C-alpha cells in the first residue's frame, strides 16, 4: 500500500464540476492499493498517517506536531496509478488491486483513519470517479509512505 502525503493549506475534489470534498489546513493523501495488500498494510499506514509529525509546533519548531495535535483535516483520494509500471511508453496497472475488491479495501482504510482521529475531520474523494483534485501544497512538503518498506511495529 502506498500513500503520497502532501501538507496543504487547502485541498478539494470535484467530479463533473460538483464539489465532493474539501479541507483547510492538513493533509491531502493519494492512496494506492496493490493487488497484494492485506489488512495489516492498511492498519499500519492508517496509524502512521494520523501520527505523522509533519507540522510545526506553536513556537515554529518544524516536524514536531501531527494532524491530531493541530486539529487539522485529512483528505483521502484513491489513486490506483501509484502502482503503474511502464511497458514501453504505456503505463500498466496490473500491480494495483482490481476495482472489484479495491473499493471495499479503500473504504475500510478510510474507516481506520477515521477511528484513529476525528470522523468529521477525515474527508474522501469519490472512488472510481474522474476526479479533479486541487490543492495548495504547504512548503511544499510531500512524503511517500509504503507499507512494504517498513516493519510492522506498534
The reply to whether omega before 131 is within 30° of 0 (cis) is no
Cell of 106: 479503500
Distances (CA, A) of 102 to 43, 91, 92, 141: 15, 19, 17, 27
Q: What is the mean pLDDT of residues 57-74?
A: 97
- Is residue 31 classed exposed, middle or buried when 0-12, 13-18 and 19+ CB atoms within 10 A define those classes? buried
Mark whether 142 is an active-site residue.
no
> 24 and 73 in contact (C-beta within 8 Å)?
yes
Given the residues 80, 105, 106, 109, the one annotated as active site = 80
Mark whether 6 is an active-site residue.
no
Given the residues 81, 101, 119, 150, the one annotated as active site = 81
Task: Note the pLDDT tens digit of each residue in 12-60.
Answer: 999 999 999 999 999 999 999 999 999 999 999 999 999 999 999 999 9
Given the residues 6, 44, 55, 79, the one annotated as active site = 79
Amino acid at each position: 500500500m502506498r500513500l503520497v502525503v502532501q501538507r496543504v493549506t487547502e485541498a478539494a475534489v470535484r467530479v463533473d464540476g460538483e464539489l465532493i470534498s474539501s479541507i483547510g489546513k492538513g493533509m491531502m493523501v493519494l492512496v494506492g492499493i496493490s493487488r497484494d495488500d492485506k489488512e495489516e498494510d492498511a492498519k499500519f499506514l492508517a496509524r502512521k498517517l494520523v501520527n505523522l509529525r509533519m507540522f510545526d509546533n506553536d513556537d515554529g519548531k518544524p516536524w514536531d506536531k501531527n494532524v491530531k495535535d493541530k486539529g487539522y483535516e485529512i483528505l483521502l483520494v484513491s489513486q490506483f496509478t501509484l502502482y503503474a509500471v511502464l511497458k514501453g511508453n504505456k503505463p500498466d496497472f496490473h500491480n494495483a488491486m482490481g476495482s472489484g475488491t479495491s473499493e471495499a479495501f479503500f473504504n475500510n482504510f478510510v474507516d481506520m483513519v477515521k477511528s484513529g482521529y476525528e470522523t468529521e475531520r477525515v474527508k474522501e474523494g469519490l472512488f472510481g470517479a474522474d476526479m479533479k483534485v486541487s490543492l495548495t501544497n504547504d512548503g511544499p512538503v510531500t512524503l511517500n509512505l509504503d507499507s512494504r518498506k517498513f516493519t510492522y511495529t506498534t
